Amino acid sequence: MPLQDVIDSPSENDVHRLPSDRPALAPAEPSSRVRYRGLIWLVAAAFFMQALDSTIVNTAVPAIARALDVSPLSMRTALTSYVLTLAVFIPMSPWLCDRFGTRRVFGGAILVFSLGSLLCGVAQNLPQLVGARVVQGLGGAALLPVGRYVLARSIDRREFVGAMTTVATFGLLGSVFGPLVGGTLVEFTNWRLIFLINVPVGLMGLWLNRREMPDYRLDRANRFDTVGFVMFAGASALLLMAAETAGSDGQWLRVGAYALLALGLGALYVRHSHRVPHPVSDLSLLRVRSVWVSLAGNLFTRLGVSGMYLLLVLFLQIGCGWSPLAAGMMMVPQAIGSISVKPFIDRLLTRFGYRRLLLGNTIAVSVVLCVFALLGPGTPTWVIAGWVYVYGAFMSLQYTSMNTLTYVDLDVRYASMASSMASTAQYLSMSFGIALASLLMEAFLPSHAPSAYVGAFRGSVIVLGMVTLAASWIFSRLRDPRASGAHGAM
């Protein structure tokens, strides 16, 4: 799961109170980055831990599948369950902070995440692993939003960007080292260690949390929209169940039943959201063109790209016979490509505007995906690495542009709700994207011979490229001068 799209977002459900709400520090006071150095390290460690865990599993999928005696593509449930749990429970984090305080919530998130990691490490079959991944997701849903929110409350606005840069760097390092560590552990030790290494890190995080985490809360929190949350969670879970069941033979009646129930709950939530003062997701924001274009464009883009790294790992390890460590090394060019293009994104947005840049870049991403179909067992390693680098560069531009588009036309008082909706939409579409990629691979797979995985990979990436291309039409709907003209990234 690509963490740079989360890191690139200016505020993901954590713009609950902006740092500009506080008066500037007096010149005689020590720098807020110095006073909160321990807090910055704590949040950075949480970012690193989740980024590591989000990417470390992909490389180990074939090894875990062999150990649990299931097919590699059956492992998609262990990946999608984690991401879906993040999507469903992220909207709860602001209310939990206001009700119980940031120190308790962040410490509880670390504890639950570490417990989930331990349960993953001792799982004996796929259902147990899926359940443990859900527990991990419950903890991970609060780590990133609460971490950013606390930094926004604590760090002076003149130093906030620098603090977030430090934290984001550790997130990127985690996404780079994840596949490398996962490949190394799987190749030379045991796959269970990829989860168990989170336990000592979590214990250290709990100690730091007691020492460094400030305790922010409201005297009286707003009432949580429990009914709306249950409707939203139920619809999301049923949609994913429909996608998972679609891969089974003779189960189309169940698929249809799940889909209809999901649509029914979704319709009920739409009606419900207009009747409560503080809904889980305020759908009235969709009246803003840039918001609905951003969310819809995110959905179709991530449907096409979210399962790409899983497919690439299966292609390299099974189809081409690469070792887990060698396959994990392919994440490094992607991260380098992502980092190398970042200094130019703001200038590109200023020069071309959101409409033209997203329209052209989305088409480019779909072409890059289709070109992956030209790769095969005989392709030189440097060619594969170079193309993965190109993919990382285009995706970095895509993620940053999509994530910031949500906020360009909104008043700051709507930023918290928009951030929550954007985060939820991102993770939901990522879970569906992983499921779609796995289903395509399964549909194109006539047997489990290595050569069959090569052909299935090629067919899958072409279809995913076409799905991504659909997002370009959505981005062409941008007409608002602020969102389509040259004004720079937020």
Number of domains in the chain: 3
Give, in order, the Cα–Cα distances in Å from 288 to each of 18, 128, 184, 484.
22, 43, 47, 13
- Report residue 132 as tokens: 């443990």
Judged against a pLDDT cut of 70, whether residue 31 lies above it is answered with no
Q: What contacts 12, CB < 8 A, 6 or more positions away? A: 6, 90, 144, 145, 148, 419, 422, 423
Give, in order, the Cα–Cα distances in Å from 95 to each of 120, 218, 277, 414, 416.
28, 9, 14, 16, 11
CATH number, domain of 341, equals 1.20.1250.20
**Cβ-contact 3, 174 below 8 angstroms:** yes
Q: List, in sequence order, every beta strand (DSSP E) within 149-288.
A: none
- Which residues form the domain of 233? 225-277
Average model confidence (pLDDT) for the chain?
Answer: 80
Taking only the tens place, the pLDDT of each residue in 99-136 is: 888 889 989 999 999 999 999 999 999 999 999 999 99
Alpha-carbon dihedral 48, 53, 59, 60, rounded to 10 degrees: 140
| Domain termination site, one of 222, 245, 269 | 222
Judged against a pLDDT cut of 60, whether residue 13 lies above it is answered with no
Reported confidence tier of residue 434, pLDDT bands at 50, 70, 90: confident
Reported confidence tier of residue 413, pLDDT bands at 50, 70, 90: low
The answer on 270 and 296 residing in a single domain is no
The answer on 59 and 24 residing in a single domain is yes
Judged against a pLDDT cut of 90, whether residue 142 lies above it is answered with no
Quote the pLDDT of residue 248: 61
Residue of 173, 206, 69, 44 lying closest to 126 (CA atoms): 69
Q: How far apart are the C-alpha atoms of 70 and 72, rounded to whole Å?
A: 6
**Cβ-contact 425, 295 below 8 angstroms:** yes
Quote the pLDDT of residue 122: 92
- Report residue 473 as tokens: 């039409």
Q: What contacts 205, CB < 8 A, 6 or more positions away? A: 42, 45, 46, 49, 110, 114
Quote the pLDDT of residue 210: 86
The answer on 21 and 102 residing in a single domain is yes
Mutual angle of helices 102-122 and 93-100, in 10-degree steps: 120
The answer on 241 and 109 residing in a single domain is no
Q: Which residue has the higher pLDDT, 299 or 15?
A: 299
The answer on 363 and 339 residing in a single domain is yes
At residue 338's C-alpha, the angle toward residues 333 and 340, to 5°, is: 90
Q: How many secondary structure helices (H) and strands (E) does the chain include?
A: 20, 0
Quote the pLDDT of residue 364: 95
Q: Which residue has the tokens 């970042």?
A: 342
The answer on 179 and 102 residing in a single domain is yes
Q: How far apart are the C-alpha atoms of 383 and 399, rounded to whole Å?
A: 24
Rounded to a whole number, what is the largest CA-CA distance in the chain?
Answer: 72
Quote the pLDDT of residue 131: 93
The answer on 259 and 234 residing in a single domain is yes
Q: Which residue has the higher pLDDT, 19 or 436?
A: 436
Start-to-end Cα distance in the chain: 24
Tell me what percent of the chain is helix, strand and coil, each rounded to the nearest 5. 80, 0, 20
| Domain termination site, one of 196, 222, 248 | 222
The answer on 110 and 164 residing in a single domain is yes
Quote the pLDDT of residue 14: 39
**Cβ-contact 451, 319 below 8 angstroms:** yes
The answer on 303 and 218 residing in a single domain is no
Q: How far apart are the C-alpha atoms of 153 and 20, rounded to whole Å?
A: 9
Taking only the tens place, the pLDDT of each residue in 282-319 is: 788 888 888 888 888 988 898 889 888 889 988 998 88
The answer on 353 and 427 residing in a single domain is yes
Using DSSP, state whether 436 is helix, strand or coil. Answer: helix
- Report residue 21 as tokens: 């709400």
Q: How many residues does the chain have?
A: 490
Q: What are phi and psi of 22, to 5 degrees?
A: -100, 150
The answer on 41 and 134 residing in a single domain is yes
Q: Which residue has the tokens 């906030």?
A: 160
**Cβ-contact 39, 215 below 8 angstroms:** no
Q: Which residue has the tokens 């960007």?
A: 161
Q: How far apart are the C-alpha atoms of 331 and 3, rounded to whole Å?
A: 12
| Domain termination site, one of 277, 304, 321 | 277
The answer on 264 and 190 residing in a single domain is no
Judged against a pLDDT cut of 70, whether residue 486 lies above it is answered with no
